Structure 1
Amino acid sequence: MNTNIKPAELNYCFISGSVLSPSLLNAIQRWGISVYVEPSTPPLPETINILENTEAASLIQDQDATVMMNWEASLAFIIENLPQQRLNQVKAFKNKVIFRELVKELYPNLFYQELTRDNLRDFQLPKEVENVVLKPSLGTASIGIRTIKGQQEWGKAVDSVLKDIDVAKEHMNPAMLNDASFLVEEFVDGDEFACDGFWDSNGKTVITGIYQHPFASSLDVSDTVYYTSTKVLAQTIEPTMQVLEHIGAKLGMRRFPFHFEFRKSNNQIFPIELNPLRFGQVALPDITEYAFGFNPYDLFFTDKAPDWDSLLNDASNSKVYAFVLADIPAKYEPDKYSFDEKSFCNSFGNRLLNYLPSNPQITPFFGVAHVVADRVEEILAYLNLDFEGFLRGREKD
Structure 2
Amino acid sequence: MITYFNKLITQKKMVVLEEPYVSETLLNYLEKTQMPVLKNDFSVKQFSSHEKLNLIEGKEFLYQYHSMSSPLLYTVSEYALDGVCNALKGENIIKQVTLLKDKYEFRKACEGIYNDFLFKEINYLDLFTFDISKIHLPVVLKPSVGFLSAGVYTIESFEDWKNAINDIENNFKSISDLFPDTVVGDNRFIIESYIKGTEYAIDVYFRDKEPVIINIFEHRFSSTKDVSDRLYLTNKALFDKYLEVFTDYIRGLNSVLNLNNIAVHIEMRADGKTIIPIEINPLRFTGMCLNELFCKFVGEHPLTYFFTRKTPDYNAIWKGRENKTYYFSIIEKPEGVKDPILDIDKLKMQFSNILELRLINNPKLNILAHVFAEIDGNTERELHNITILDIKTLLK
TM tier relative to shorter chain: 0.7 to 0.9
* Alignment-mate amino acid for residue 281 of structure 1: G
Partner of 1:326: 331
Matched residue SS, 1:121: helix
Among residues 242, 250, 257, which one is paired with 2:248 in the alignment? 242
Alpha-carbon contact 1:8-1:31 (below 8 Å) kept: no
Equivalent positions of 1:9-28 (< 5 A) are 9-17=11-19, 19-28=21-30
Partner of 2:4: none
TM-score under structure 1 normalisation? 0.87
2:317 and 2:304 map into 1 onto residues whose CA distance is 17
Q: Structure 1, residues 47-66: CA drift from partner, whole Å, max 9, x if none?
A: 22012344334444557332
1:252 and 1:328 map into 2 onto residues whose CA distance is 39
* Alignment-mate amino acid for residue 174 of structure 2: V
Number of aligned residues:
383
Task: Kindly state the Cα deviation for residue 136 of structure 1 after the two structures are TM-superposed.
Answer: 1.0
Alpha-carbon contact 1:199-1:248 (below 8 Å) kept: no
Task: Kindly state the Cα deviation for residue 391 of structure 1 after the two structures are TM-superposed.
Answer: 2.4
* Alignment-mate amino acid for residue 266 of structure 1: G
Q: Structure 1, residues 281-339: CA drift from partner, whole Å, max 9, x if none?
A: 12321222323444311101111111245556x464220101111211123323xx532
Among residues 176, 185, 192, which one is paired with 1:185 in the alignment? 192
* Alignment-mate amino acid for residue 109 of structure 2: L
Partner of 2:71: 65
Among residues 42, 48, 52, which one is paired with 1:47 in the alignment? 52
Alpha-carbon contact 2:93-2:262 (below 8 Å) kept: no
> Structure 1 pair 104/306, CA: closer, same or farther in 2 (3 Å)?
same
TM-score under structure 2 normalisation? 0.88
Q: Structure 1, residues 3-37: CA drift from partner, whole Å, max 9, x if none?
A: xx999723111123464335533442343211125
* Alignment-mate amino acid for residue 387 of structure 1: I
Among residues 155, 163, 170, which one is paired with 2:162 in the alignment? 155
Partner of 1:376: 379
Alpha-carbon contact 1:143-1:164 (below 8 Å) kept: no
In terms of fraction of residues, the more helix-rich structure is 2
Task: Kindly state the Cα deviation for residue 103 of structure 1 after the two structures are TM-superposed.
Answer: 1.7
Task: Kindly state the Cα deviation for residue 152 of structure 1 after the two structures are TM-superposed.
Answer: 4.7
Greater mean alpha carbon deviation, residues 78-87 or residues 148-157: 148-157
Partner of 2:308: 302
Matched residue SS, 1:244: helix
Greater mean alpha carbon deviation, residues 210-219 or residues 91-100: 210-219
Task: Kindly state the Cα deviation for residue 100 of structure 1 after the two structures are TM-superposed.
Answer: 0.8
1:40 and 1:150 map into 2 onto residues whose CA distance is 43
2:328 and 2:62 map into 1 onto residues whose CA distance is 33
Among residues 267, 278, 288, which one is paired with 2:273 in the alignment? 267
Among residues 214, 218, 221, which one is paired with 2:220 in the alignment? 214
> Structure 1 pair 18/115, CA: closer, same or farther in 2 (3 Å)?
closer
Equivalent positions of 1:1-397 (< 5 A) are 9-17=11-19, 19-36=21-38, 39=41, 43-44=46-47, 45-61=50-66, 64-84=70-90, 85-125=92-132, 129-200=136-207, 202-309=208-315, 311=317, 314=319, 316-334=321-339, 337-349=340-352, 351-374=353-376, 375-377=378-380, 378-392=382-396
Task: Kindly state the Cα deviation for residue 146 of structure 1 after the two structures are TM-superposed.
Answer: 0.7
> Structure 1 pair 130/346, CA: closer, same or farther in 2 (3 Å)?
closer
Task: Kindly state the Cα deviation for residue 180 of structure 1 after the two structures are TM-superposed.
Answer: 2.3
1:37 and 1:277 map into 2 onto residues whose CA distance is 18
Greater mean alpha carbon deviation, residues 228-237 or residues 365-374: 228-237
Task: Kindly state the Cα deviation for residue 216 of structure 1 after the two structures are TM-superposed.
Answer: 1.7
Task: Kindly state the Cα deviation for residue 199 of structure 1 after the two structures are TM-superposed.
Answer: 0.5
> Structure 1 pair 248/61, CA: closer, same or farther in 2 (3 Å)?
farther
Q: What are the ranges of 5 or more consecutive residues in structure 2 without an aligned counterpart?
A: 1-6
* Alignment-mate amino acid for residue 61 of structure 2: A
2:362 and 2:259 map into 1 onto residues whose CA distance is 36
Q: What are the ranges of 5 or more consecutive residues in structure 1 without an aligned counterpart?
A: 393-397
* Alignment-mate amino acid for residue 46 of structure 2: P
